[in-house]
Amino acid sequence: MLIGATPHNAEMLGLASVGPNAQWMLDATVILIYKFPVHTHGIFESFRTNMLWYRGFQEPTHHNVWGALARYAQAKGILVGTGSYKQMITDKSHARESEILMRVDTWKKNFKFKYTMENLITSKYK
């Protein structure tokens, strides 16, 4: 890690690496998490695994994008932290602990998407 680098900076660099696809991925994250039942909980890694099964959502080109997507979903209020932590299991997570998140229904419903559910499915990364 570079001197002065932070996890947030790494996430932003990762998100920048997907370039013009960044907004697609941000919108897709919120839309796909919205499909989970309210009160579904788990670390973001478990949401991520299910999101990758969805048609059209592909593994980002940089693994730090996942942190940015998790932070974005929390900023939009669709996921909230529970205060409990669980160890991650995927290879690139290096068994770090991650906060358990819960899908809630109090998110900012006036959020304006660039992509809707309909064109999210039909549009690939633009």
pLDDT for residue 9 is more than 80: no
Stated pTM of the model: 0.71
- Dihedral angle over CA of 77, 78, 84, 85, nearest 10: -110
How far apart CA 107 and CA 61 sit, in angstroms, is: 28
Average pLDDT over the chain reads 75
Amino acid of residue 108: K
Amino acid of residue 112: K
Q: What is the pLDDT of residues 14-38, one digit of tens each?
A: 656 556 667 777 888 888 888 889 9
